């Protein structure tokens, strides 16, 4: 797993950074990419354009910018927290139709938006009801389950 740095920490300024990582690791033939918040949105846009090289997308407190994933063959995991103050339950309901029907969903009870990124408090977010370590553990478990589920695809 790699966390790819972005210009000014904004994924929108590095929409094709995944291509650099993929090129640097030509020994890997199946990729799952993802991101937190806007990073997930940008990862999805890249995955749709490069679907031959990408097997799946992981959204961490994020959602697609449009419905392009619906007709793709990409495996999708969406993880969100109950205390997310930036992407709330009504937001999830509003954007739910942008995800394919076979999307894998993971809900972190007590998790918040900033807990996906380990960058401290974020304006507009709610306080987490679980520790940062516990949220990270649940994120890791959900991603592990997802990767195992698509391993044979």
Q: Give the tens place of pLDDT for each residue, 103-137.
A: 999 999 999 999 998 888 889 999 999 999 999 99
The pTM of this model reads 0.86
What does each C-alpha distance from 48 to 28, 57, 87, 98, 108 come to in angstroms?
19, 10, 23, 13, 27
Q: Give the tens place of pLDDT for each residue, 61-76.
A: 999 988 888 888 999 9
CATH architecture of 33-150: 3-Layer(aba) Sandwich (3.40)
Sequence-distant (6+) residues with CB within 8 A of 28 are: 22
User: Where do the domains of the chain lie?
Assistant: 33-150
């Amino acid at each position: 797993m790699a966390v790819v740095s972005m210009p000014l920490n904004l994924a929108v300024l590095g929409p094709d950074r995944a291509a650099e990582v993929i090129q640097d690791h030509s020994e890997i033939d199946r990729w799952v990419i993802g991101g937190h918040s806007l990073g997930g949105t940008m990862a999805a846009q890249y995955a749709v354009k490069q679907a031959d090289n990408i097997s799946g997308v992981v959204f961490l407190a994020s959602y697609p910018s449009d419905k392009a994933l619906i007709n793709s063959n990409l495996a999708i995991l969406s993880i969100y927290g109950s205390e997310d103050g930036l992407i709330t339950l009504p937001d999830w309901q509003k954007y739910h139709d942008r995800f394919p029907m076979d999307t894998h969903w993971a809900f972190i009870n007590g998790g918040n938006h900033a807990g996906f990124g380990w960058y401290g408090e974020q304006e507009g977010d709610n306080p987490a009801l679980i520790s940062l370590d516990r949220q990270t553990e649940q994120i890791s478990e959900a991603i592990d389950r997802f990767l195992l589920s698509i391993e044979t695809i």
